[in-house]
Amino acid sequence: MLILTCPYCGVKAEETELAPGGEAHLKRVGPEGDDQQFEGYLFARKNPKGVHFERWRHAYGCGKWFLAARDTNTLQVFGTYKAQTPYPTDEIVAEIQKSRPDWKPDWSAAE
Amino acid sequence: MADALATITRVEGLGMIALRADLARAGDAIAEATGLALPAATSITTDGSRSLGWMSPDELLLILPGAELAEAQQALNQALTGEHALIADVSDARAVFDLVGAHAADALAKLAPVDFAALPADGLRRTRAAQTAAAIWRIDGGYRVIGFRSTGDYLATVLNNAALAGTTLAAR
């Protein structure tokens, strides 16, 4: 069972109160992108065994979308943060590295 | 056989107004128009007859006697002139149930993934009751449950089933 804290209302919501929304931090390919990039945006999804960032919606509560960082293998939750965040926050990264010292972010915030 | 865990009565005649607005900007105007303090997140404020519940970061629910509905709606419309806001009469869209009894929390515990015995006195929790959405808060001697009217019969059935006599959760 997965318990995530909604960052909007602070409720510790259980999995059945939430609706899953797939991978987080997808960036839409704009008009300058080619077909292959757009196909990637539509269909290519990460499926890691380990640290993963996901979208969730507090469907039976305040109804807001939020983002969660968790381990798909151990179900350890590293934290949740608001959807208006282009990349996982520094606090989330620090929390992940606390228990996974070798883990490195695969994005650079300057992008 | 023992009594039911809680007496369940369907409450009719309540007026409800859904309010959506930027609460940081329009909160004071709403508090003044409704005559109630603005509730903190996941809580409900009441003055006895009227209640103002926190539904989400940009949504409140005003619950009041049906007779005061039109007047309150007018007052809110006036108070929120110029604001980007929604004031909708949702009285007929909701089904309301009161669960009163010593073991009302036990009945709710069977339906929702929430510890209602630990709910603060002014707490309001939106969750699911079995398979339908509900908002639950404390009233004198028990809890009030509101759900959608379209699933109201279902809600009544699962509530009554969860409150069957002799089904308390504590070890017997």
Q: How many domains does chain A have?
A: 1
Which residue range(s) make up the domain with B125?
A: 7-11+93-162
In whole angstroms, what is the distance from residue A44 CA to residue B149 CA? 41
Give the residue-averaged pLDDT of A73-94.
94
A62 CB within 8 Å of a chain B CB: yes
A33-46: average pLDDT: 94
Q: How far from chain centre, in Å, is Cα A6?
A: 13
Q: What is the CATH number of the domain that holds B105?
A: 3.30.1360.120
Predicted pLDDT at A92: 95
Residue A110 pLDDT > 60, yes or no? no
Which conformational region is residue A45 in: left (phi greater than 0), alpha (psi within -120 to 50 degrees), or beta? beta
Number of inter-chain CB pairs under 8 A, A vs B: 32
pLDDT in tens, B49-63: 999 999 999 999 999
| Contact between B39 and B53 (Cβ < 8 Å) | yes
Coil, strand or helix at A104: coil
Q: Are strands A19-23 and B44-46 parallel, antiparallel or unpaired?
A: unpaired
ipTM of the complex: 0.87
Q: Which two tokens stand for residue A38?
A: 């757009």
Query: What is the band of B44 on the pLDDT scale with cuts at 50, 70, 90?
Result: very high
Burial class (CB in 10 A: 0-12, 13-18, 19+), B168: middle
> Domain total for chain B?
2
The Cα of A102 is separated from the nearest Cα of chain B by a number of Å equal to: 36
A62/B127 Cβ within 8 A: no
**Spatial separation of the C-alpha atoms in residues B59 and B62, rounded to whole Å:** 10
Domain around A83: 3-27+37-99
Q: Which residues in chain A have their CB less than 8 angstroms from residue B127's CB? A: 17, 60-61
Q: With respect to residue A66, please indicate whether it lies within any of the assigned structural domains.
A: yes
The better pLDDT of the pair B139, A110 is held by B139
Exposed e or buried b per residue across B150-164, where buried means at least 16 C-beta atoms within 10 angstroms of its C-beta: ebbebbbebbeebbe
Task: For residue A107, tell me if it sits in a domain.
Answer: no
